[in-house]
């Protein structure tokens, strides 16, 4: 039997979740002196993830960032699914940088991911518009 050109990838070789996160800033609470940090957590992998994935919000980016708060996902993330986790923070007086990370491995949930390098995002110079 000649199976040289079958191109078989093997069963279960790529069966893993892959969590990603995108950070956006909501301005609907600016009238109340707050910004809404919105983290869209998506699973672009081949397996689902249980609820309870940790999402942590930071003021600043990189190693000098300060933790603002954290929350967890409340729904299962099947392949291709996403959910939004939000955190309201006091609006800064000057434009500020924010970042977010999604932790596939935490005390409450362990997720063996395909690519842990896509688990953070940031937004720069966010703030409420100045009304004259």
43-71 per-position pLDDT tens digit:
999 999 999 999 999 999 988 899 999 99
Grouping H, G, I as helix, E, B as strand and the rest as coil, residue 64 is helix
Q: How far apart are CA 65 and CA 111, in angstroms?
A: 25
The CATH code for residues 19-115 is: 2.60.40.10
The answer to whether 6 and 101 are in contact (CB under 8 A) is no
User: The whole model's pTM is what?
Assistant: 0.85
Comparing 112 with 66, which gets the higher pLDDT?
66
Percent of the chain with pLDDT over 70: 84
């Amino acid at each position: 039997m000649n199976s040289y050109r079958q191109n078989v990838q093997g069963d279960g070789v790529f069966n893993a979740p892959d969590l990603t996160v995108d950070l956006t800033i909501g301005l609907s609470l600016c009238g109340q002196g707050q910004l809404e940090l919105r983290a869209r957590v998506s699973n672009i992998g081949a397996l689902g993830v249980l609820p309870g994935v940790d999402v942590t919000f930071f003021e600043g980016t990189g190693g000098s960032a300060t933790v603002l708060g954290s929350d967890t996902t409340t729904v299962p993330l099947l392949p291709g699914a996403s959910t939004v986790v939000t955190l309201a923070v006091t609006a800064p007086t000057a434009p500020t940088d924010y970042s977010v990370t999604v932790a596939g491995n935490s005390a409450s949930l362990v997720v063996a991911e395909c690519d842990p390098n896509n688990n953070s995002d940031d937004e720069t110079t966010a703030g409420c518009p100045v009304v004259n």
